[in-house]
Each structure stands twice: as structure tokens, then as C-alpha cells.
Structure 1
Amino acid sequence: MFAKLAQPYPLGATLCDQGCNFSIHCPDNQEIKLILFDAENKRTTIELGNEYMGCRYVFVPGVKAGQRYGYQIRDKHELRLVLDPYAQALDKTPFYVEPFTADKSWEFAKSVVVDHQFDWQQATLPQVPYEETVLFETHVKGFTKQHPQLDEQHQGSYLGLCQPQVIEFFKDQGITTLQLLPVTSCMSEPHLLKMDKVNFWGYNSLCFMAPEPRYAANDAVTELKTMVRELHKNGIEVIMDIVFNHTAEGGEGGPKFHFKCLDKNYYLQDSNKNYLNYTGCGNTVDLTYQPSLNIVLDTLRNWVTHYQIDGFRFDLAATLGRKRDRFDTQSAFFKAIAQDPILRQVKLIAEPWDVGPDGYQLGHFPRGWNECNDRFRDTVKSYWLEGNNNVKEFATRLMGSRDMFSAGGWPDKLPVNFISYHDGFTLHDLVSYNHKHNHANGENNRDGHGDNRSNNHGVEGETSNYSVIYKRERQKRNLMTTLLFSFGIPHLLAVDSLSHTQGGNNNAYCQDNEISWADWDLSKDDKRFNTWLTQMLAARKQIMSPFIKAFSGHERGHHRIHWHRSNGQMMTAEDWQGLNAFALYLGLYKTGNELMFLVNSSDIPTRYRLPSGSKWSVVCDTSESRLNQRQVQTTYMQSAKSMTILYRE
């Protein structure tokens, strides 16, 4: 009877009312056996009596949700327990003491059978338009661990991120979309375990489909779904940062959790069967190999179907389009996504590079993909913080980097613009440090990027010098105004809204402490900046979003764009070589709403002559710490190293 219920697909553990089907892809290990564990860790060994195309499978009657299991394999004459790569949950936070031997594998985290029934309470998907999307990069634990209004049981957890106080903050801030640092199960790298540290960011995937247990009080599956449901009820999207380019098994000599013992072809290998390391993490998942492609696509559908996830940000996404040492926009992965009725409906964001050959692919991903625009980051930071007066480059980024992202493909091909990300300086540290200070990471300050393009404005680190503080706060406003009023999807680091400092650490990946935890104890300057940013996000939605929509697609050529010198005359070819003060004029159609950008990167105030007509409303002047609503008409005096946005209906 039960033999008929046994099926090779879907892979993983699939429940029905009579029991559970277990199936695993394991062509490199024919002696594999299913092990079930009871509450006292007593084992039941079950033969996988069926085989199909490299998959071994069996139906086990009577199995219920919550059943812990693993697979026993023979590894060099030792019996090792491996995780199910398709595991939907883990029974505890993965941990081991180096080295990870076959004996220790039996004490490691176990796979868990999951029943995905859940009451979504009729919560609907927010489906925020691209032109209105504001990404808020958030660490589940780090953002709420020190939140003063949350109960201790909710701090640093999935449920903490959806408490009314936190949701109210998101809504007041004007955030449409949370981009969560990885919430899939991960394992800290061996070198971190030796230093008694953890991979705080989570970019070291263990089981792609299992939510990270350390952010849950009891049940990571239910608590993550609850978080998504409550955010959706409040119109906030949830995007997962997900890592398919490598796994926690590392390279040669790395730990064996699953893939290495089941099928080594999951990873790219050279002619000597050594792992190719195009990710900088020891191994590279080979998506030209059908089982690798299958688990990636199955994983994505799992998160969208069972967790109502609104989209994904793909870490080192160039790896996903690789054919060994070349990147291919026509790869099977991109084609599979484009034809998938579930996946082609969600937001897809690529980090468009990896560290291998042909690895930098900004602007080359297919339609339907948005891309993290590091050219915007570097140009804008250099312009405001380093005095690199490359007006042409700055203007190109302001107008949506159309040298790489044609407006004909907008809004779905809008670039994702950003100033700060989880890796690198926070916004506050960008204006407070000239050098990285990563000593807490235990690598003698050798780790982390050296190209920060930052400016401490005369003092390294925190200071009480009012003149220095004023310059720093003004530059923060310059950077954020440029980000929010450029054409693109703005990406903000969540802790930047709180002016959080990491003490100059630009690579805090292993800092599960106050260095990374958002500091909610705000100074007067911090509160003032948060209020300013909240109002600017509201202004962007009201004013800039309609301009982005209008400048997208077939209508893009029907609007007015003019570049002016401060005296009102049109800019000449010579002006583009380094003019310190210029203006951008935008007008919708022939007589529609108008925007003016007054940009003064010089050290002296500059008076601008404005286009004639009715009065302009001042949206913001970055030389001012508050938004002061007023109108101007013929001229405007712009302070040094600042910019102003004007609007006229």
C-alpha cells in the first residue's frame, strides 16, 4: 500500500494524512539510509528502498509534523549523519566545535518535517509599484535587539520585527519594503568558530529552505510567517537577501553537511576535481548542473508559496548566470525564472558581480531584474565627501544611470541606488571616519574594503566639536537627498535612520553585539536627522515618484530636461568638465509639474537665477537641519557644499 505513496518528487520530506514521503538526491552515496529521531534521540533506521535518476526515496506511515530526521551515509569508513538539503526546518541553531567529525555530525542540528498550514488571516500582498518602492535593509536581530519599547522576549527576533511599535516606526518613516539580511539557516565559518564568534550577517547558507532558528523563540517557521503576515497587513513588503552562490561547506577541507557527501557536482570543479572559488567563500554552486538549478528554483518557490515573500535580493548574483568562467544572460537560471508563473511575479534584485573571471556585470542582467548600482554609490560619495567634481558622472547617476539602465526598460529595470549597505561604513561613519577600524574582527584590521571614499571632516570618530558635527550632518543630508531624489529605487540601511555608528568598523559581519545592534538612544542631532529623513521620504513619494513613473517607458521622451549654470544660462561642453555649481530642471510634458535641483559643491555660497513663472516651493535645503516650507521666485542663495530641491505644480 505505502509503496505506491513513495515518490521521487518532490525532494525533501512531504507530509500527507497517512505519513511522509522522504526523497533525497544522492548519486555519490548509494549506502544512504533515513534516520528518524524520537524525543530521547533514539534512532530508527529506514532503508530507502526506491531509486530514480539518482534519487533514493521511501514513504513512512504515521510520521507527523515535528519529526526530526537525517540521512546516514558512509564517509571513509565512518558513519556520518547529513542534513537533508531540502530540509524545511532545523531543530536547533547549528553549532559545532572544530573539527566537524563524523561523530560530531550526530550531535549537530537535525532536519525537521514541517506542516505548512498557516492562518494568513486574509492578509494580501502589498505589491508596491517600483517607482514608489523604498528598500530598508534590515537585520532581524540587530534592528530590535536593543529596542527600548519591546519586551525582552521579542527583542532581536522575527516577532520583534512585527511588534506594533516597530511597525509604527516603519510606517512613520515611509518605508515600503524591508530587505532582510539572510534569514535562511546558516553556519558560521570555521575561523569564526575558533575565535568564538558567529557569522552575524548570515551569508553562509546551510539549508536554503529552513529559516534561521536563532531568531525564533520556539518555532522559526511559524514565527517568520507571522512576521511576514503582520507586515503585509500594514502594507510593507518583505524581500529576502538569499545566498545561492556558495554554501557553508566551504572548499577543500571544509565541513561536510550535505552536498559534498551526496553529489560533488553541485559545485564547480577544475580539471583536478578541486573546488573553484569564484565567490571568495571556498566553493561555487554550479547552476548549469540540473540538480543545483532544481534546488535553487524549488527554494524560491518554497519561500514565495509558503511564506508569501515578495521578492529576493541575490547575493553575488553573477554566479547564478555562470557557465564556468563566463557570464551568460541567456543562462538556464534566467530563462527558468522568466517562465515560472510564480517567480516572475516577485521583485528580483541582483548584486551583479562575484569575484571570479567575467564577474562584474552591472547593467547586463535581463529584463525583470533590478541591480544594485555601486556606480551610484561610488560617484555620489566621491562627489560630496572627496571633492571629486566629476559633474558629468554625477549627473548621469542622478538621472538613473541611463548609460547602463535605459529608461525604456523602466520602471522594472530601475537601478537600485544606495549610499551605504550592510558591508561598508554606515552613513554616520562615512562622515566620521577616514579609515576602517576593524580590529574587533580579529584579523588585525586586514579585512574590509579599503576604498571607503569617506571624510571625517577633521576629527577621526566621535567628537563634541560643533563645527565638525554641523559639517557631518549637512553631508548626511546631501547624500540622502541625492539618493532619494535620483531616478531609481532607493536602498537605505535601516540603522542609518538612527544615525548608528559601528565605531568605524566597515565589515561587522561577525559582530553580534552593540557594534551591529541598532542604538535607539538618540541624541538631539540623531532625532533631528530622523525627523528630517522621515519628511524627505514622504516628499519623495509625493513628488519624485510621479516623475520616475512619467520618465519611464514609452513616455520618457515627452518631458523637459535642462542643465543650467547658476546664472540661468544653459551649460556648455566646457561646464561639464568641472563646474562647481549647476542646476537641473525637470518638467513633465509641456506644461506639467516642475522640479529644480540646485547643486553647489563649492566652498562659497552661490546665487541661482530661477526659471521665470510662478513661485517655487522649497522641498529641502541640505544646509538646513529642518525642512522649512517657503516659496521663492526669481533667485535663490545656495550655501556652500549643499543642495536644494525646488518644486512647482
Structure 2
Amino acid sequence: MFAKLARPFPLGATLCDQGCNFSIYHPENKPLKLVLFKKNNKPHIIELQNNYQNIYYTFVPDIKAGQVYGYYIKDKGEERLILDPYAQALDTIAHYTPPFTAEQSWKFAKSVVVDHSFDWQGIPAPRIRHEETIVFETHVKGFSKQHPEQPHHLSGSYLGLCQPSMVAFFKKHGINCLQLLPITSCMSEPHLLKMNKVNFWGYNSLCFMAPEPRYASQDAVTELKTMVRELHRHGIEVIMDIVFNHTAEGGEGGPHFHFKSLDKNYYQLDSNKNFKNYTGCGNTVNLVHQPSLNIVLDTLRNWVTHYHIDGFRFDLASTLGRYGDRFNTEAAFFKAIAQDPVLREVKLIAEPWDIGPDGYQLGSFPRGWNECNDKYRDTVKSYWLCKENNIKEFATRIMGSRDLFSAGKWPDKLPVNFISYHDGFTLQDLVSYNRKHNYANGENNRDGHGDNRSNNHGAEGRTENYAVLCRRERMKRNLMATLLFSFGIPHVLAVDLLSHSQGGNNNAYCQDNEISWANWALTKEGDEFLTWISMMIHKRQTIMPEFIKAFSGHDRGRHRVIWKRSDGHNMTGEDWQGIEAFALMLGLDKDGDELLFLFNNSTIPTRYRLPVGNKWDIVCDTSESQHNCRQAQTSYMQSALSMTILHRRCTALNQP
């Protein structure tokens, strides 16, 4: 009877009332057996009785959720225990002492059978529109670890991120979408293990479908689902940052956890059968190989179906569209997602590059994908922090980078604009350091990006100099006001709301300590900035969605875009060569609502003549640390190195 219950699909461990079906893809001619571990950790070996298209499978009766298992494989004369690539959970945090030997594999983390039953309490997905989305990049442990109102046993955990105090913070400050740094199971690289460090960010996938146990007190599966449910209850989306471009097995000489032992063709290989390294991590997943494509798609459906995840940010996503050395926007991966009834409805964000040939693909991803816009980051930082004469490029970026992302495909094809990301300086460090300070990483400051486009404003790092502090705070406001009111989906590093500094470390991937943990003890300046940016987020959500929708699609041409000099005259071609004080006016239809941006990147105050009509409401003036409700009508004196955003309703709405 039980033999009839054995099935090749789905792959992995699938529970039913009678027991569990185990299925694994293995085209190599190596002995392979299922290993079940009893409570005394004694292994029980079971033959895989069936084979269908290189999928070995069997049904084992009376198996319950929580059963620990793995697969015995004899590889090059070594008897090794490997993980199920489709494992839904791990029994412990993955760790070993290098090198990873066959003997160590039996003491390593093991796969766990999971029952995905969960009470979602009827909570619907928030389904936030693209024009209303603000992505807040967040590390599960890093953001909640030091929160003063966090229960100690939940700090740094999935449950810690959805505690009432944390949810109250998100709601108060207008946070409607969390993009979590990787929460799939992760294995630290051998060089970190040798230094007694960990991969804190998590960009080194072990098992794609298993949640990282580091962030759970007992059961990572249930606790992660609880976190998502409670965030959804309060209208907050959850996007996963996920890594499919490489795995923790690395390149030649790297450890064997599963894929390498089962089928080396999961990875891209050169003519000599060596691993291609288009990721900087030693190996590159080959999505032209059908089993690789299958597990990636199965993984995405797993997270959406079982965990109600709202979307994904794909690390080094150009790899996913590769056919050998070339990127192809018509790749099978993109086609498969576009036709998938589960995946085509979630948010898809690409980091549109890798380090291989043909790797930089900003603007090339198909419809249905948003893309991280590094040109926006570099341009805006250069304009405000480096005082480069790049106003034409600056104007293009704040208007939505329409040279790369056609407004005819907005709002679903809006670029994801950002100033700071997990890799690079935090906002506070951008205005506090001229150079990176990564010595704590143990690589003699050789790691991390050298092109930071930062400005310490007169002192490197911490200072009590009041003038320096004022300049830094003003520049933070310039950067964030520009980001929030540009056309696009703003991406905000969550710790930037707290003015968190990493001490100048721009590559804190291995710093599971106070360098990376959000510092909730705000200074006076930090508290003022949090109040300011909270106000700005709420104003952005009140004003910008209407303008984004108006400037999207086929009817966008009927609205007004006017670039002006400070004297009120329209800019000429000559003005674009080096003007320091200029204005942008956006208007809906012929006489609808209007937005006015005053940019003054000069070192002297400049008086602007304002367009005639009703009074303008001042949304913000970045020269001021606090918002004062006031209006302007005919002219406005703009302080040096600052900007002001003004808004006025259409004439009809202003009638008494």
C-alpha cells in the first residue's frame, strides 16, 4: 500500500496522514540512500526504491513533522551526509570548523520534515501599489537587537521584529514595506569561520527553502510565519532579499553540502569543467540547467504559498538571465515567472548586475520587474556631496530615469531609487567619512567599495564641532528629501532613520555586533532627524502618488514639466552647462495641483521668484531641522547648499 504513495514529485520531504514522501534529484552514478535520525541521533538508513528521470524517491510510513533526515552519498570513496536541497528547515544553526570533511558532514546541520499548517487568521496581504511603496531595507537581527522595549528573549529574532513596540515604530514613521536581508539558511564562508566571524548579512545561501534558524528561539518556520502575519495585520509588506546567483558551496575546493555531490551541472562550468565565477563568490548557479531553474521557481512559490511573502529582491540578478556568457531578457527564468499564477502577482526587484561579462543590465529587465537604480545613487551623491557639475544627469534621475525606464510603463516599472544600501556607507557615514574604515573585517581595509562619493564636512568621523554637525544634518536632509520626492520607488536603509553609524565601515557583512546593530540611543541631532524624516515620509505619501500616476502611462504628456532659473525665467540650453541654483515645477493638466522644487547647490543664499498664483505651502526647507507650517507667494530666499519643496492645490480647491 505504501509503495503506491511514493511519488517523484514534489521534490523534498512531503507529509501526508500516512507518512512522508522523500524525493531527490541525483543524475550522478553514486550510491545514494535516505538517512533518518532518531532521538538518540542514531541514523536509520533507507533504500531509495524508485527512480524516475534521475529522481530517486520512496515513501516512509508514520513519519511526523520534526523528523530529522539527510542523504548518505558515497563520493570519491568518502561516505558523506548531505542536505536535501529542498529542505524546508534545518535542525540547528549551520556551523563547522574548516575544512569541511566527510566526517564533519555527519555532525553538521541536518534537514527537517515540516508541516506547513498555520493559522493565518484570515489576514490579507497588504498589496500596496507601486507608487505608494517605500522600501525599508531591514536586517531581522540587526534592527531589533538593541531596541530598548524589546523583550530580551526575542531581541534579534523574527518575533522581535513584530513586537508591539516595533510595529508602533513602523506605523508612526510611515513604514509600509520591509525588505529583509536574506532570511534563507546561510553558511559563513571558510575564511570567516577561521577568523571566528559570521556572515551577518546572509548572502551565502545553504538551503533556499529553509528559514535561517539564527533568528528563531525555537521553531524558525512558525516564528517567521507569525512575523509575516503580524506585519500584514498592520498593513506592512514583507519582501525577501534572496540569493540564487551562487551558493555556500563556493568554487573549486569549497565545501560539499548538496549540489556538488548530486549534480555539478547545477553551476555554470567552463570547458574544463571548472566553476565559472560571475558572482565573486566562487560559483555561479546555472539557470539554463533545468533542475536549477526548477528549484529556484519551486523556492519562490514555497515562500509565497507557505509564508505569504509579498515579493523578492534578487541579489546579482543578471545571473538569473544568463545563457552562458550573455544576458538575455527573454531568458526562461523571466518567461517562467511571467506565466506563473503565483509569482506574477508579487513584487520583483532586481539588482541588475553581476561581475561577469555582459553583467551590467540596468534598465534591461522585462516588464513586471523593478530595478535597483545605482545611477540614481551615484548621481545624487555626486550632486550634493561632491558638488559635481552634473545637473543634466541629476535632473534625469529625479524625473525617474526615463532614459532607462520609460514612463509609459510606470507605475509598475518605476525604478527603485536609493542613496544608501546595506553594502556601502550608511546615511550618517556618508556625511561623516571621506574614506572607508573596514579594519574590523580582518582584511586590512582592502575590502569594500572605494567609490563612496562621501563628504565628512570638515572632520573624519565623530566630532563635537557644532558647525560640522550642522552641515552634516543639512546634507542628510538634502539627500533624503531628494530621494523621497523623486519619481520612483524610494529605498531607505532602515537604520538611517536612527542616524546609525557603522564607524565608517562600508562593508560590515561580517559584523554581528554593535557596528551593525541599530543604535536606538539617539543624539539630539538624531532625534530631530527622525522627527523630520517621519514628517517627510508622510508628506511624500500624501503628495507623490498622485503625481506619479499622472506622469505614468499614455496620458502623461498632458502634464507640465518646467525647468526655471532662480529669476523665474525658463532655463535655456546654456543654463544647463553649470547653473547652481535652479527650480523644477511640475503641474497636473493645465491648472491642476503643482509641485515646485528649489535647488541651491551654491555657497550663497539665493532668492527665487515663484510662479504667480495662489500661495505655496512649504513642504520642507532642508536648511531647517524642524518643519514650520508656513506659506510663500511671490519669492523665497533659499539658503546655501539646500533645497525647498513647495506644493499648492489647484485653483478650484482653493476657492472659499
Corresponding residue of 2:565: 565
Q: Please state whether the residue corresponding to 1:70 is helix, strand or coil.
A: strand
Q: Please state whether the residue corresponding to 1:400 is helix, strand or coil.
A: coil
- What amino acid does structure 1 have at the position aligned with 2:252? E
Q: Work out whether 1:192 is the aligned partner of 2:205.
A: no
Superposed counterparts of 1:64-143, under 5 Å: 64-143=64-143
Corresponding residue of 1:156: 156
Instruction: Give, in angstroms, the shift of residue 234 of structure 1.
Output: 0.1
Separation of aligned partners in 1, 2:31 and 2:123: 46
Corresponding residue of 1:175: 175
Corresponding residue of 2:410: 410
TM-score, with length taken from structure 1: 1.00
Separation of aligned partners in 2, 1:463 and 1:30: 63
Corresponding residue of 1:220: 220
Corresponding residue of 2:360: 360
Corresponding residue of 2:372: 372
Return structure 1 stretches of 4+ with deviation > 6 angstroms.
Answer: none
Q: Which moved more, 1:233-242 or 1:2-11?
A: 2-11
Contact kept in structure 2, 1:29 and 1:74, CA below 8 Å: no
Contact kept in structure 1, 2:30 and 2:74, CA below 8 Å: no
- What amino acid does structure 1 have at the position aligned with 2:97? V
Instruction: Give, in angstroms, the shift of residue 151 of structure 1.
Output: 1.1
Instruction: Give, in angstroms, the shift of residue 389 of structure 1.
Output: 2.2
- What amino acid does structure 2 have at the position aligned with 1:514? E
Separation of aligned partners in 1, 2:133 and 2:290: 34
Give CA-to-partner distance per residue, 1:401-443, whole Å, 9 cap, x none.
0000000000110000000000000000000000000000000
Contiguous gaps of at least 5 residues in structure 2: 650-656
Give CA-to-partner distance per residue, 1:41-65, whole Å, 9 cap, x none.
0111000010011110000000000
Q: Please state whether the residue corresponding to 2:165 is helix, strand or coil.
A: helix
Corresponding residue of 1:648: 648
Separation of aligned partners in 2, 1:156 and 1:29: 44
- What amino acid does structure 2 have at the position aligned with 1:302? N
Give CA-to-partner distance per residue, 1:490-544, whole Å, 9 cap, x none.
0000100000000000000000000000000001110000000000000000011
Superposed counterparts of 1:25-40, under 5 Å: 25-40=25-40
Instruction: Give, in angstroms, the shift of residue 29 of structure 1.
Output: 4.2
Separation of aligned partners in 2, 1:575 and 1:156: 52
Separation of aligned partners in 2, 1:312 and 1:456: 34
Separation of aligned partners in 2, 1:577 and 1:359: 32
Contact kept in structure 1, 2:30 and 2:75, CA below 8 Å: no
Corresponding residue of 2:511: 511
Separation of aligned partners in 2, 1:91 and 1:3: 28
Separation of aligned partners in 2, 1:616 and 1:569: 18
Corresponding residue of 2:609: 609
Contact kept in structure 2, 1:69 and 1:112, CA below 8 Å: yes
Separation of aligned partners in 2, 1:75 and 1:357: 33
Corresponding residue of 1:444: 444
Q: Please state whether the residue corresponding to 2:152 is helix, strand or coil.
A: coil
Separation of aligned partners in 1, 2:36 and 2:12: 14
Superposed counterparts of 1:196-211, under 5 Å: 196-211=196-211
Contiguous gaps of at least 5 residues in structure 1: none
Q: Please state whether the residue corresponding to 2:571 is helix, strand or coil.
A: coil
Corresponding residue of 2:260: 260
Corresponding residue of 2:485: 485
Separation of aligned partners in 1, 2:246 and 2:14: 26
Corresponding residue of 1:282: 282
Superposed counterparts of 1:504-583, under 5 Å: 504-583=504-583
Q: Please state whether the residue corresponding to 1:153 is helix, strand or coil.
A: helix
Corresponding residue of 1:633: 633
Contact kept in structure 2, 1:33 and 1:47, CA below 8 Å: yes
Corresponding residue of 2:598: 598
- What amino acid does structure 2 have at the position aligned with 1:502? Q
Corresponding residue of 1:461: 461
- What amino acid does structure 2 have at the position aligned with 1:313? R
Contact kept in structure 1, 2:147 and 2:520, CA below 8 Å: yes
Corresponding residue of 1:60: 60
Give CA-to-partner distance per residue, 1:328-354, whole Å, 9 cap, x none.
000000000000000000000000000
| Count of equivalent residues | 649
Separation of aligned partners in 2, 1:19 and 1:647: 64
Separation of aligned partners in 1, 2:237 and 2:389: 37
Q: Please state whether the residue corresponding to 1:640 is helix, strand or coil.
A: coil
Separation of aligned partners in 1, 2:266 and 2:78: 23
Corresponding residue of 1:398: 398
- What amino acid does structure 1 have at the position aligned with 2:584? L
RMSD, aligned α-carbons: 0.5
TM-score, with length taken from structure 2: 0.99
Give CA-to-partner distance per residue, 1:461-517, whole Å, 9 cap, x none.
010000000000000000000000000000000100000000000000000000000
Q: Please state whether the residue corresponding to 1:564 is helix, strand or coil.
A: strand
State the percentage of identical aligned residues: 75
Separation of aligned partners in 1, 2:392 and 2:546: 25
